[in-house]
Structure 1
């Protein structure tokens, strides 16, 4: 059961969300676009290794929303593998965030789980006993047949006992649970049972850290934005490039302005090498300081060389003054030998 040209549809997800889904803890997969399929969806974990802060934020988020329904014993995954096919779920429908949050047939924790535009409703989580190493792709794509055949034999149901069942508006139509199928107009929102609204508000207030947990989960999810990663990468690249360029410019200036240093003084080459290494490791600030120190050394050495050249010139003028030499030669010519 699927829609479109998907035979064995698969979705690549970042960790820890991928493992939380196949372990049955995560029941809503949030996306900015509606689900194009119904039925089994294979889950592949992307290659990015999750950091401890992200894992902690997501585990706290699910602890809090499960606590709203009185569930406190949650067995989180021990490992979050990457670059692996790790399991599958059954996608039974897709609704908007507003629809999910106002769907009174669902537990309150499930309704709080939907924080994105479109919510893919997932049931029957299964995980692979031995995850398959493979490459992932963007969007929903077809799993290779040879991988599918091998993976289908190694599935086992999730051990979590707090799974959810999403009721279909039309049990005869597997695609009936779609955006617009759950009433959520403004008028209908106002006509919600006041007791249900009061109950939901009270449950949220009982868990004082729920708001913080939701905020932490959203913050953790934003770190995987392509735009954010691109900006960070570009900044690091520009930072390193500027540092290296500064060192190269300083070295070129030395060679042109100071023939002594340009000829390759050993002590100065060592100094410049150390400055370059520190500039690459510590950034523009250290590189600038090194360049400033190097400029002072260059200035001092250039001054010493200039003074030395001036001194030698003055001594040479005294030793080999042309006027004195002519007077002495004339005096010698005028000398007469003794009689």
Structure 2
């Protein structure tokens, strides 16, 4: 896919922004399976976002619940054969995605310009819209931090040379209202959306509903163990630092 990178960290003082996430969500994002990163706060950057996997090893129940969830939402769009990562490494820099926008979940759920499966991912307050996944050929060990933070220069210089493109199961392009403005796709930018829009009425089979419930349950149980807090659909939050809040 072509890149729409308008500069790393065009807003704020981010040079090479990175986000630490728990597994399996981190790898699912870098492999292009996950298209929406859910947060309780709006995305403070546009462009390349590096993804780092936290140190908590995911249990098999959590992994299975999330893989089942993605199988079901891709099936809505006719994709039947998903290839998941062979493993979910921890305490590693995994790769990067490109954040092209951020919407409220109500806006995303009513957007007729994205596949139904993408709309099903948007279940948190703020939905970071991610494209152009790339993974590191050899993920390497590093420490993570809270919120969005800058990669150290020496880590960035090593990582950028080891990237390889990923072909997502269903490539998605999120249309920018104003292509010249990297921040044009932001909460409130889709002013014409309606909570009863046709696009929001995604038919949920019993299997799909069970997969969504399973993902929610797995995320809740996982976060009880790590002492964090979450929205739904397995979106795991790192607590937001004071620095990140001020930049948001």
TM-score, with length taken from structure 2: 0.84
Q: Does 1:116 align with 2:124?
A: yes
TM-aligned CA distance change 1:155 to 1:197, over 3 Å: closer
Q: 2:217 maps to what in 1?
A: 219
Match of 1:15 in 2: 23
CA deviations over 1:183-216 (Å, ceiling 9, x no partner): 366xx334x35xx566x33xx23xx211111111
Matched, 1:189 2:187: no
Offset at residue 115 of structure 1 (A)? 1.4
**1:55 match: secondary structure:** helix
Give me the whole-angstrom Cα distance separating, in 2, the residues matched to 1:223 and 1:183. 36
Runs of 4+ in 1 over 6 A off after TM superposition: none
CA distance in 2, matches of 1:57, 1:100: 23
What residue number does 2:138 align with? 130
Q: Could you say which structure has the greater relative contact order, defined with CA pairs below 8 angstroms and 6 or more residues apart?
A: 2
Cα deviation for residue 225 of structure 1 reads 3.3
Q: Is the 8 A contact 2:40 2:125 kept in 1?
A: yes
1:254-269 residue pairs with structure 2 within 5 A?
Answer: none
Rounded Cα–Cα distance in structure 2 between residues aligned with 1:135 and 1:70: 39
When normalised by structure 1's length, the TM-score is: 0.62
Task: Please give the root-mean-square deviation of Cα atoms over the aligned residues, in Å.
Answer: 1.7
Per-residue deviation, residues 265-323 of structure 1 (Å, max 9, x unmatched): xxxxxxxxxxxxxxxxxxxxxxxxxxxxxxxxxxxxxxxxxxxxxxxxxxxxxxxxxxx
1:165 aligns with 2:163: no
The correspondence of residues 139-154 of structure 1 with structure 2, limited to 5 A, is 139-154=147-162
5+ residue gaps, structure 1: 232-339
Quick check: which one's helix share is greater?
Answer: 1
Which runs of no fewer than 5 residues in structure 2 stay unpaired?
1-6, 229-248
1:35, 1:94 within 8 Å by CA — same for their partners in 2? Answer: yes
Give runs of aligned pairs for residues 51-62 of structure 1, distance below 5 A.
51-62=59-70
Alpha-carbon spacing, 1:229–1:16, altered in 2? closer, same or farther (3 Å):
closer
